């Protein structure tokens, strides 16, 4: 059975690599069409150039950017509104255009918590993506953005309680809240260790974040064995969008 085409939708440059880099590399390596939409940062910034490098490593094409400003970095898109402050209908329309242009079988995005850190841009990306995957299939919504297209499923990148504590010690700054979900909510646990080189390479391609000691930088500072343990599994919650859909992320059993 061929791997489904996959569109990843994440808030910032580096989220695609950290949250779904393994699955993107897995699907691209199997010959599936893959791409990523990034909600924040402008195309002419250094972060966008680093995103392009990361996507090349993952086999996910060229950056597709909504062009909004990061909630905590106004220099990310000078003259543009913060993503969290943009009119919801406008943001959904922009994303629907990308979904209809790419026509993915599945879409991957942040969970409703916005991942371990709960960043406001992550939360808003979840909201916008959830609305956009539904709207993309309705012919009377945003008719100027292309022919309707309904993905089969939405996958939410998440972290189960059982793994969160170990991960949080390395990935969440001390004193910050950490968000995870009950283990039974997870519907796809993916061993991405065969694609670890691509995933870590893509994370480290976000050089600005490495240099300033953000999450890619904290991962870069770890011994390779510890780093591999932290990023070799990805967890997802599946939401079916078509009742008869059978498309599913391909799982690689652990030995």
- What gap in Å lies between CA 170 and CA 128, rounded to an integer? 29
Q: Please report how many Cα atoms fall inside a 13 Å half-sphere around the Cα of residue 30, on the Cβ side.
A: 20
- pLDDT on residue 248: 59
Burial class (CB within 10 angstroms; exposed 0-12, middle 13-18, buried 19+) of 43: middle
- pLDDT on residue 247: 53
Q: At CA 206, angle to CA 168 and CA 70, rounded to 5?
A: 75
**In order of start, what are the domains of the chain with their CATH numbers?**
6-240 (3.40.50.10320)
- pLDDT on residue 165: 80
Query: Which stretches of the chain score pLDDT less than 50?
Result: 244-246, 255
- pLDDT on residue 254: 53
- pLDDT on residue 120: 96
Q: Please report how many Cα atoms fall inside a 13 Å half-sphere around the Cα of residue 29, on the Cβ side.
A: 16
**Structure pTM?**
0.92
The predicted-structure confidence for 97-108, as pLDDT tens digits, reads as follows 999 999 999 999
Q: Are 239 and 150 in contact (CB under 8 A)?
A: no
């Amino acid at each position: 059975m061929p791997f489904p085409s996959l569109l990843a939708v994440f808030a910032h440059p580096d989220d695609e690599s950290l949250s779904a880099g393994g699955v993107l590399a897995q699907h691209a390596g199997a010959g599936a069409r893959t791409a990523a939409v990034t909600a924040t940062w402008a195309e002419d910034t250094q972060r966008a150039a680093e995103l392009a490098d990361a996507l090349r490593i993952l086999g996910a094409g060229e950056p597709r950017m909504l062009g909004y400003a990061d909630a905590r970095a106004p220099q990310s898109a000078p003259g543009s509104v913060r993503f969290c402050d943009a009119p919801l209908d406008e943001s959904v329309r922009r994303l629907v255009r990308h979904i209809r242009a790419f026509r993915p079988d599945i879409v991957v995005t942040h969970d409703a918590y916005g991942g371990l850190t709960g960043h406001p841009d992550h939360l808003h990306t979840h909201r916008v993506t959830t609305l956009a995957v539904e709207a993309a299939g309705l012919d009377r919504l945003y008719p100027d953005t292309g022919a309707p297209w309904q993905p089969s499923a939405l996958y939410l990148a998440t972290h189960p309680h059982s793994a969160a504590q170990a991960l949080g010690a390395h990935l969440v700054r001390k004193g910050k809240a950490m968000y995870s979900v009950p283990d039974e909510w997870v519907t796809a646990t993916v061993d991405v260790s065969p694609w670890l080189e691509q995933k870590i390479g893509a994370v480290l391609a976000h050089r600005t974040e490495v240099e300033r000691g953000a999450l890619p930088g904290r991962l870069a500072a770890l011994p390779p064995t510890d780093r591999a343990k932290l990023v070799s599994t990805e967890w997802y919650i599946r939401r079916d969008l078509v009742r008869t859909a059978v498309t599913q992320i391909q799982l690689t059993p652990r030995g």
